[in-house]
Amino acid sequence: MINSLKPASRLTIIFILAVILSGSVLTYFSINNISNLKELTEKRILEEQRELSSRFSTAIQNNIEKVTDGFNNEISLSPALKDSLLKRTSEYGFIIQPFILKNNDQFLHPNFIGIPENLTVVKLLSRFNSVFRKGEEAEFFEKDQGKSKEYYLSCLGYSTGRNDSVKALNALGRVSVKLNDVKNAMTYYNLVISEYFPVTDDNGLPYSYYALPQLLKITNANNPETILPSVEFCLEKMNTGSVPLNYNTEELINLVTEWLKDNTLNNRERSANIIKLTESLKKQVQFSIKYGDELSELVKKGNSESHVVAANDFKVVNPVSGSNLEFFLINTNLKNPAGFLIDRKKLLNTVARTDLQHGFEFDYKIEFPAVYNSNTTEDNLFYTTQLNPLFPEQLIEIKPDDENLIKDLIKRRGWIYGIASVLLLVAMFLGVVLILRDISREKHLARLRSDFISNITHELKTPLTSIRMYAESLMMGRVKSDQVQKEYLSVVVNETDRLKRMINNILEFSKMEKGKPEYHFIKSNLAFILNEAIHEVNYWFEKEHFEVVNELDETIYAEVDPEKMKQAVGNLLSNAIKYSTNTKKIFIRLFKKPERVCIEVEDQGMGIPEDKLSRIFDQFYRIEQKESISGTGLGLTVVKEIIEAHHGSISVTSEIGKGSRFMVIIPLCGT
Ligand code: ADP
């Protein structure tokens, strides 16, 4: 069968075979692919989770290195060391508290002295002391505040040093409060704070601790703004350690906080700073109370402790007393052992926020569970592991951001492959339809061709037989009368014309097939051409007794190839003759329409069925008739080709039993 097909059809078959083959291969691989996809993706995810966990661990290490970098014995002298520690604290949000210890295990920073040691004060029998005692007697026993004030004032003159002066000033402040002398009380206490802040009394308590609550109390109602600088100054000194901290500090801070709440202060900046200072102080005190003993133990043990060094001689130590949410980074090799208390959660979250997932195919969520997740199944792809050797008990859990990652991926792939397969099936189906259509067309054309051959043989034979018969009779001298001789000769001439017309059609069709019919357009009178065409078939008109009605506008000119146009009109006329039955009447019209010329050939013959109208211009197409009418099926094909080469069009209207009308329209050119 393939050999009987045109090369195009063979190509179609090869194409379909190729599609079927590649489609099958594709389907096989896609099914394989989907089943491998899950496994491969899980592997990929596990690889990325491992990589992420190791990146996280490295990032933790880097952070610890950055925090602990640059501390050595050069800067271990306390002011420089303290500055560096404070600077790091302000840079890294996860540092809760920096600290420095003396080698004798007490804190240098925060300057927390706990319970002040009872100072063994050698009470000198000085003039100051005896006058001061008189002042106290007047104040506490005689309750004569005026008198006591006198004594205290004179004390100032006898003071032997800063301790005496501040003691007298503090007493004067106290008496002034009792005397309701707010103005003076403020002056004395402000002086105590600004000039004598570090000085402690006989019990080791700084005088600021007396002055500050008093100041807060007396200014509570009127003009609290006036003491703001003193409050700020005092807290700052406590914060930097110039005024030591102790168990009373928290109470003092609470007083300040209350005072801030009770008074609306205009100086926002200062009050914000005061709040910041109180918070920092609270932290320092709480830290000192919570971890003081533990840290001094640690320092005592020093290098004998077997903690792993994290970076730059700093070790990670988990507090025994605290929760595992905090840990120390401590360097006991410095002259003054120092370090930081770190908020572990904050450190982990800081690292988790950094871009550790660059270059990954999927996105992940990081969490830090306390215990291994018991929900871990093969499907939820949780990866839990120990975070870092420095924190043996700290777990890190890494899971895909999108819980349905694999399900979605497989679904998506399934869709893609599904759609591709459907498209492939459609393409294959279309291919089969196309090829079947192609085959049936080829078959039909082959039949038409074979019909054509038998038709043409018959068509050629008929006129040739007549020509031979008449010519032979003439040659043999059988016809004597001039009249009959002429008649015989005219038959020969007209049959030759018929032959010529037929051969011309075949030649024209063959040129059409090759795609190169030649046209020579010249401006011509169309009535003249039509008359020539009529003249060529006149013999048949007369022979068959046709009534021919000519309605030709003789003024019409158009750019045409006269021979081809004559051939086209000749074909239409010859058809009109062939397909006329009883009513032998033909109309030939030529008239103008705007910009166009119309040629009509109308007969009153057998007509054409409506469903065949669209096919009569096809090559080799013939309508089967009851009585055999000779023809090749090329006449109208050639007419259409010629008219279209003239940029025109041909149409037909017809009614069975009444006749047909062929209308040719071509462009007009001026007369
Ligand atoms: P043929 O050589 O068969 O005449 P054509 O291409 O000229 O080939 O015409 C195709 C078919 O159209 C004819 O077989 C005929 O059935 C139909 N046909 C053409 N002209 C007419 C007409 N004037 N009246 C009726 N049928 C016609």
* Span 276-333, pLDDT tens digits: 999 999 989 988 888 888 888 777 776 655 677 777 888 888 877 656 688 888 888 8
For the record, the structure tokens of 360 come out as 């990954």
Tell which atom from ligand 1 comes closest to the C-alpha of 603: 23
Residue 216: per-residue pLDDT: 87
Which of 112-121, 146-155, 567-576 is least confident? Answer: 112-121
Tell which atom from ligand 1 comes closest to the C-alpha of 605: 24
Please tell me the residue having the least CA distance from ligand 1 atom 13. Answer: 622
User: Is pLDDT above 90 for 533?
Assistant: yes
- Ligand 1 centre from 445 Cα, in Å? 18
DSSP secondary structure of 5-66? S-HHHHHHHHHHHHHHHHHHHHHHHHHHHHHHHHHHHHHHHHHHHHHHHHHHHHHHHHHHHH
Neighbours of 466 (CB within 10 A): 17
For the record, the structure tokens of 358 come out as 């660059």
Q: What is the mean pLDDT of residues 594-609?
A: 94
For 343-390, write each residue's pLDDT tens digit: 888 998 888 888 888 888 889 988 888 777 666 555 668 888 888 888
Instruction: Return phi, psi of residue 613, to 5°.
Output: -55, -40
Instruction: Return phi, psi of residue 362, to 5°.
Output: -120, 165
Ranked by mean pLDDT, the top range of 38-52, 243-257, 258-272, 552-566 is 552-566
CA–CA distance, 499 with 161 (Å, rounded to integer): 152
Q: Which of 456, 575, 629 to mutate to test the pocket of ligand 1 (most atoms within 8 A of CB)?
A: 575
Q: How confident is the model at residue 73 (pLDDT cuts 50, 70, 90)?
A: low
Yes or no: say if 158 and 164 are a contact pair by the CB < 8 Å rule.
yes
For residues 435 and 190, which has the higher predicted lDDT (pLDDT)?
A: 190
Q: What is the mean pLDDT of residues 126-137?
A: 89
- H/E stretch holding 73 reads none
What mean pLDDT value characterizes the chain? 85
For 161-186, write each residue's pLDDT tens digit: 888 889 999 999 999 999 888 889 98
Residue 86: per-residue pLDDT: 85
- Ligand 1 centre from 378 Cα, in Å? 80
- Ligand 1 centre from 653 Cα, in Å? 13
Q: How confident is the model at residue 1 (pLDDT cuts 50, 70, 90)?
A: very low
CA–CA distance, 256 with 262 (Å, rounded to integer): 10
Please tell me the residue having the least CA distance from ligand 1 atom 16. Answer: 623
- Ligand 1 centre from 563 Cα, in Å? 21
User: Is pLDDT above 70 for 71?
Assistant: yes
Residue 609: per-residue pLDDT: 95
User: Is pLDDT above 70 for 197?
Assistant: yes
Query: 358 pairs with which residues across the strands?
Result: none
- H/E stretch holding 97 reads strand 95-101
- Ligand 1 centre from 575 Cα, in Å? 6
Which of 25-29, 251-255, 318-322, 499-503 is least confident? Answer: 318-322
For the record, the structure tokens of 589 come out as 């019209």
Residue 124: per-residue pLDDT: 61
Q: How confident is the model at residue 547 (pLDDT cuts 50, 70, 90)?
A: very high
Kindly list the protein residues whose Cβ atom lies closer than 6 A to any atom of ligand 1.
Answer: 575-576, 579, 603, 605-608, 616, 621-623, 631-637, 660
For 478-487, write each residue's pLDDT tens digit: 888 889 899 9
What's the length of the chain? 671
Tell which atom from ligand 1 comes closest to the C-alpha of 659: 24
Residue 458: per-residue pLDDT: 83
User: Is pLDDT above 60 for 7?
Assistant: no
Residues in contact with 266: Cβ distance below 8 Å, sequence separation at least 6, in sequence order: 225
Amino acid at 429: F
- Ligand 1 centre from 551 Cα, in Å? 23
For residues 9 and 533, which has the higher predicted lDDT (pLDDT)?
A: 533
Residue 443: per-residue pLDDT: 87
Tell which atom from ligand 1 comes closest to the C-alpha of 606: 25
User: Is pLDDT above 70 for 11?
Assistant: no
- Ligand 1 centre from 383 Cα, in Å? 85
- Ligand 1 centre from 633 Cα, in Å? 7
CA distances from 600 to 261, 427, 556, 590, 646 (A): 111, 47, 14, 7, 16
User: Is pLDDT above 50 for 158?
Assistant: yes
- Ligand 1 centre from 617 Cα, in Å? 9
CA distances from 503 to 356, 430, 499, 539 (A): 88, 41, 6, 19
Work out the percent of the chain whose per-residue pLDDT is above 90.
Answer: 31
Q: Which of 571, 572, 579 to mutate to test the pocket of ligand 1 (most atoms within 8 A of CB)?
A: 579
Residue 632: per-residue pLDDT: 85
Residue 426: per-residue pLDDT: 87
Instruction: Return phi, psi of residue 605, to 5°.
Output: -90, -145
Instruction: Return phi, psi of residue 78, to 5°.
Output: -50, -45
Q: Which of 572, 636, 664 to mutate to test the pocket of ligand 1 (most atoms within 8 A of CB)?
A: 636
For the record, the structure tokens of 125 come out as 């029998």
Work out the percent of the chain whose per-residue pLDDT is above 70.
Answer: 91
For 604-647, write each residue's pLDDT tens digit: 999 999 999 999 999 888 898 777 788 888 999 999 999 999 99
